[in-house]
Amino acid sequence: MKIMKKKLLSFFLICLFWGCSESSTTAIQETTEIDLNKVYKWNMVTTWPKNYPGLGRAAENLSKYVDEMSNGRLKIKVYGAGEMVPAMEVFDAVSRGAAQLGHGASYYWTGKLKSSQFFTAVPFGLTAQEINSWIHWGGGQELWEEAYAPFNLIPFAGGNTGVQMAGWFKKEINSLDDLKGLKMRIPGLAGEIFSRAGAETVLLPGSDIFLALQQGVIDAAEWVGPFNDLTFGFHQVADYYYYPGWHEGGSTLEIIINKEAYSSLPDDLKAIVKYAARAVNQEMLDEYTANNNRALTELVEVHGVELRKLPDDVLIELRRISEEVMEEFIKDDEMATKIYNSYLAFKQDVIQYHEISEKAFIEMRDLEE
């Protein structure tokens, strides 16, 4: 009887082993069946001029990296602003699937989605290093995806310019009174803050700024920083270049992907897109860091630009107004409130350490003997 039981138990275990092996093999085959010959062709629309230094090249680099890493299985054709859709229609085009990808700045869409503001820049907010940390390690990415989900979009950080300049002005800014009546191109919350300080603000794509300054439609404009501003030639139509960029301490650009398009990709191509975006995000910051001072030197020493710091009383008043604007901005918007609370908590936490690390190091480095 015992011998019979042992034989039956052995037979049962053998059957179980072969059954598990077969199902495991089938599962592995199912998950690894990828058609390596299938080529996906995507279109990417952007808010920048084609191949524009820094901002525009990020999209081209994403296309290049994805093509290389996928061995040509995912091809991305990049369109500059206005080539396929106008600059300010990128969000809608990708949302409805007219294009699979988009590249721009999330605060361009605050009219559609208030919380999009926080993923580009907040006045007197996070630096590039800090906002990257919040997005990738502080819960920002998850909140970003939650905010964009109703629009059929998946967002990724797609570049960072670092601290920007305060902007180009046709006249000197010596006090708060000099802001009153000033017509300035400045987007996002910063535009609202400037308006409350007495200025009149205008939202224009970058390609329209030069002509608007030249023709006197506007008296001042912020764009990015020396690297980009030199290429647009703003020094030809405005004499004064002000810093610091109180409104954009670490301006993050975004890559947005149509959710259905992304879901249609096999897992390896999804990963390639995700990590190519991560590479582009860091690479842009490196590019600006390497080129900004060279461009600033040329602007000042070759073109005679007057480099000025905004007066402290102006900065203090802008910060006071910004606190009021932020409170009103998130009021009655659950998603915006949720994201801002996360952003603010991260800012308060990271500032504490940066007081004795980044800030202390820079101050120490600048000490005179």
Residues of the chain with pLDDT under 50: 1-18, 20-32
Task: Answer yes or no: are the C-beta atoms of 126 and 346 closer than 8 Å.
Answer: yes
Token pair 């490196």 is at which residue? 286
pLDDT tens for 110-154 read: 889 999 999 999 999 999 999 999 999 999 999 999 999 999 999
Classify the phi-psi angles of 159: left when phi > 0, otherwise alpha if psi is within -120 to 50, otherwise beta.
Answer: left
At 2 the pLDDT is 45
Task: Quote the CA–CA distance of 337 and 362 in Å, as a whole number.
Answer: 34
At 33 the pLDDT is 67
At 15 the pLDDT is 44
pTM, two decimal places: 0.87
Q: Which residues lie closer than 8 Å to 112 by C-beta, 6 or more apart?
A: 91, 151
pLDDT tens for 169-183 read: 999 999 999 999 999
Delineate the domains of the chain, giving CATH numbers in brackets: 40-161+250-289 (3.40.190.170)
At 12 the pLDDT is 44
Q: In this structure, are strands 306-309 and 153-160 parallel, antiparallel, or unpaired?
A: unpaired
At 23 the pLDDT is 44
CA torsion sign, 124 to 130 to 134 to 140? Answer: positive
At 369 the pLDDT is 62
At 232 the pLDDT is 93
CA torsion sign, 201 to 203 to 207 to 211? Answer: negative
In degrees, rounded to 5, the angle at the alpha carbon of residue 284 between the alpha carbons of residues 278 and 286 is 105
